A and B are shown apart, each in its own frame.
Chain A
Amino acid sequence: MIELRPERLIPQNFQNSSLEMTNKDTFTNHLNRINSAPAWLLDLKRASWDKFVSTSMPKHTDDTWRFTNTKNLNLDKYHQISDIKSIKKESFEEQSNQLNLISGKIVFVDDHQCRDTEFDTELKEKGVIWTTLEDAFLNHRDLIKKYVTGKLPNLGAEKFGSLHHSLMTNGIFLYIPQGIEIDLPFTVYNWTSTMGMAVFPHTIIITDKYAKVNLVSFFKSMEPNIQNLAISCSNIYAGIGSQITFTAIQDWNLKTQSYHLNTANADQDANIKNININVGSAYMRHEHHTQMFGLGSKTDTYSLSLTTGEQEFDQRSLQTHSAPNTNSDLLFKNTLLDSSRTIFSGLIRVNENAQKTDAYQTNRNLLLSESAEANSLPGLEILADDVKCSHGATSGRLDDNQIFYLLSRGITKKTAQQLMVFGFLEEIIDKLDNQDLANRVRDIIRKKLPK
Chain B
Amino acid sequence: MDSLEIKNLNVTIENKKILDDFSLTLPKGEVHALMGPNGSGKSTLAKTLAGHPDYSVVAGESLVDGKNMIGLSPDEIARSGMFMAFQYPSEISGVSIANFIRAAITARLQKDEELQATQYYKQLYEKMDLLKMDRKFTSRSINSGFSGGEKKRCEILQMMMLKPKYAVLDETDSGLDIDALRIVADGVNKMRSPDIGILVITHYHRLLSYIVPDKVHVIYNGQIVQSGDKELAFELDKKGYDWIKNESVTSL
Contacts and interface: CB of A to CB of B under 8 A. Distances in A.
A425 B79 CA distance: 28
Contacts of B99: 419
B90 interface: yes
Given A419-B103, A420-B95, A423-B141, A407 B90 contact: no
Contacts of A406: 92, 95, 100
Interface residues of A, number: 23
B90 A423 contact: no
A32 B84 CA distance: 74
Contact of A413 (B52, B75, B96): B75
B38 interface: no
Interface string A382-402: 000000000000000001111
A27 interface: no
Given A400-B53, A405-B86, A411 B103 contact: yes
Closest 7 CB pairs of A and B: A423-B94, A410-B78, A423-B95, A407-B74, A405-B90, A409-B104, A410-B79
Contacts of B62: none
B100 A408 contact: no
A420 B75 contact: no
30 contacts: A400-B53, A404-B53, A405-B142, A406-B95, A406-B100, A407-B51, A407-B74, A407-B75, A408-B50, A408-B51, A408-B77, A408-B84, A408-B86, A409-B75, A409-B104, A409-B107, A410-B79, A410-B104, A410-B162, A411-B104, A411-B107, A412-B75, A413-B75, A415-B107, A419-B99, A420-B95, A422-B94, A423-B94, A423-B96, A426-B94
Contact of B52 (A399, A404, A426): A404
A413 B78 CA distance: 13
B75 A402 contact: no
A427 interface: yes
A424 interface: yes
A419 B100 contact: yes
Nearest to B100: A419
Interface of A: 399-402, 404-413, 415, 419-420, 422-427
B71 interface: no
B93 interface: yes
B192 interface: no
A411 B96 CA distance: 14
A393 B158 CA distance: 34
B73 interface: yes
B175 to A, nearest CB: 18
Nearest to B88: A401
A401 B78 contact: no
B74 A408 contact: yes
A408 B84 CA distance: 7
B95 A419 contact: yes
Nearest to B92: A402
B148 to A, nearest CB: 16
Contacts of A402: 90, 92
A7 B142 CA distance: 57
B39 interface: no
A415 B93 CA distance: 16
A402 B91 CA distance: 7
B228 interface: no
Interface string B51-74: 111100000000000000000011
Contact of A407 (B78, B96, B141): B78
Contacts of B52: 404
Given A410-B107, A410-B162, A405 B75 contact: no
Contact of B78 (A408, A420, A424, A426): A408
Chain B CB within 10 Å, residue with most, of A402, A411, A420: A411
Nearest to B142: A405
Contacts of A426: 94
B106 to A, nearest CB: 8
A423 B93 CA distance: 7
